[in-house]
Amino acid sequence: MKSMMLSLFATMFLAFVLISCGNDGSKEETDESTQTNPHASQDLVYKAPGDWIKETPVSNMRRAQYKLPGQNGAGDAEMAVFVFPGSGGAVAANISRWIDQFKQPDGSNSADKAVIDEKVINGLKMTTVSLTGTYYKSASMMGGGDVEELENSALLAVIVETEKDPWFFKITGPEETINYWKDSYNEFLQSIK
């Protein structure tokens, strides 16, 4: 037991020395719009477009949150970023849940209207989904509570699969605003690494 404790102490001391020697005290300049999650099993780095406004997340379940300013008289859209270490659910289940948050004005099935695409960008498998309709925005991420009915809304979202934990980037808001930001969204996808 004593030799195990000495070995552990020696290993910790060596790690401290190596870390201390590698730090020259200088601070590296970072772009505030580049985000990583220190709690995830694999960090992602991405660059939000300069016109997106970084906000304080409204929930501790969100890793980041951005406002996409309204366009042509329409309101703002919002992007929420989620990652749940060790969980998060299957890709198809999450997409299905997002689709179920939308209803079509003509009563047709939202699943039939959703555009789902799989791609690989920077070596990462991504599944994107886009959809328009009436968005039933719940006060709770898991559903339930008060629900706000928002007509002429849209969804742009991507699930990025890493070695362990999926990352979720979900944009919702007025269709007019989201249509305006589609090119920026596609550039954003290219920045995820």
* pLDDT at residue 21 tops 70: no
The per-residue pLDDT for 20 is 37
pLDDT value at residue 42? 62
| Predicted confidence (pLDDT) at residue 39 exceeds the cutoff of 90 | no
Residue 12 scores a pLDDT above 90:
no
pLDDT at 35 over 90: no
Q: Which residue has the higher pLDDT, 20 or 80?
A: 80
What's the pLDDT score for residue 2?
41
Q: Which residue has the tokens 């195990």?
A: 4
Radius of gyration of the chain (CA): 21
CB 95 within 8 A of CB 159: yes
Are 184 and 52 spatial neighbours (Cβ–Cβ below 8 Å)? yes
The pLDDT score that the predictor gives to residue 28 is 30
Task: Identify which of 155, 151, 40 has the alpha carbon closest to the alpha carbon of residue 106.
Answer: 151
Domain ranges in the chain are: 31-191
Residue 73 clears pLDDT 70, i.e. is over it:
yes
DSSP string, 86-125: T----HHHHHHHHHHTEE-TTS--HHHH-EEEEEEETTEE
pLDDT at 141 over 50: yes
pLDDT band at 15 (very low <50, low <70, confident <90, very high): very low
Rounded to the nearest integer, the mean pLDDT of the chain is 81
Give CATH for domain 31-191.
3.40.1000.10
Residue in 155, 158, 178 with CA at minimum distance from that of residue 166: 158
- pLDDT value at position 153? 98
Across the range 116-121, mean pLDDT stands at 97
Neighbours of 184 (CB within 10 A): 14
Read off the pLDDT of each residue in 169-192 and give the average, rounded to a whole number. Answer: 97
Which residue would you say has higher pLDDT here, 19 or 112? 112
Would the pLDDT of 7 be above 60? no
Alpha-carbon distance of 179 to 171, in angstroms, equals 11
